[in-house]
Amino acid sequence: MCLSPSQLRGVRLHVVVTGGAGFIGSHLCEILLGNGHAVSCLDSLDPYYDPAVKLENIHDSERSSMFRFVQGDILDRKAVDEALAGFEDSGETVVVHLAGLAGVRPSAERPTAYMRVNVEGTSNVLERSCRAGVSHFLMASTSAVYGASAQAPFNEDQKLSPQESVYGASKRAAEIVCATYQLRYQLPLTVFRFFTAYGPRQRPDMAIHKFAKLMLNEQPVPVFGDGSSARDYTYVSDIVDGIVRAIDTPDGYRVFNLGSDRPVRLDDLVQKIATAVGVRPLIERFPDQPGDVPITWADISNAQGKLGYRPAVKLEDGLARFVTWMKDQSADAEGVDAE
């Protein structure tokens, strides 16, 4: 289990996690509770995928008296204020802003909604956080802000090329809003650029989840392009470890890549998932998808040097854990003993 610096010093925080019932957020809430912090989870239970899945994600956290769930939208000032109100006996308040609309391909179909939620929603959470006197604001961004950059691995200080997707553009705009608030209010602010997180509770539309499910059901896997595109896949516990390490080290405006620094080709990924599932994959090939980039690759030297971030889970091990989780979920859904 990760230990935050604040826990090591015996300081308890009140951490507001927006999007806390989602994939990364629910894992973060559990770690924070385990480290002795009070947690307020703000989530709208958006029907992008089954809200019942998100409620199941926070089932264990809700057993703790130090956990509160606030169902509400980040565009709703009252909901944000309710989440920020905190616990009477908690210490200073920190916000980890993970909520937003995700996905490169869906953003092409709903550009206005992505801009409103990811930019205006972030601005609203920032504004309410400043009014509430939070001590540190941390926001989830994405590797998509790098666009189709030829400079790989991607470094936080490199000049950003135009984003290939509305999703990437909305997150880049949210980063700029964060930088403005940091200057305006002197609010310590940390931005994380996540690189393709995976693991238990991953969104069902993500490639690893989708591919594994198809293989388990003996259905063909859709592969877009020639299989040479590559992604920096990062196990969820490594992502959460990076967040926890940053929470209690506020220092002006900072941007950190959180990735594995190990890009993997799409065709190799398919084979590795097949090995974890224990099948020979059936593959259907399709043309490249608009908005997709040829590679994502995190330069993590900044996070290593300033946070002590060290991704520990190899892709093969992470895929094996994920497939085990998927099989357990299927067995539970069918009422079958998973053993």
Say which residues have a Cβ less than 8 Å from residue 216's Cβ, sequence separation at least 6.
277, 279, 326, 327, 330
Active-site residue, from 146, 167, 181, 309: 167
Question: Quick one: CA torsion of 25, 29, 31, 37, rounded to 10 degrees?
Answer: 140
Buried b (16+ CB within 10 A) or exposed e, 204-240: eeebbbbbbbbbeeeeebebbeebebbbbbbbbbbbb
Angstrom distance (rounded) from CA 94 to CA 137: 6
Question: Residue 92 and residue 137: Cα distance in Å, rounded?
Answer: 12
Which positions ≥6 away from 139 have C-beta within 8 Å? 96, 97, 122, 174, 175, 178, 189, 190, 191, 192
The two counts, helices (H) then strands (E), for the chain are 13, 13
Is 167 part of the annotated catalytic residue set? yes
DSSP 15: E
Instruction: Count Cβ atoms within 10 A of the Cβ of residue 198 and give its class: 0-12 exposed, 13-18 middle, 19 or more buried.
Output: buried
Instruction: State the Cα–Cα distance between residues 143 and 245, nearest whole angstrom.
Output: 20
Which residues have CB under 8 Å from 272's CB, separation 6+?
Answer: 264, 315, 316, 319
Would you name the residues annotated as active-site residues?
Answer: 167
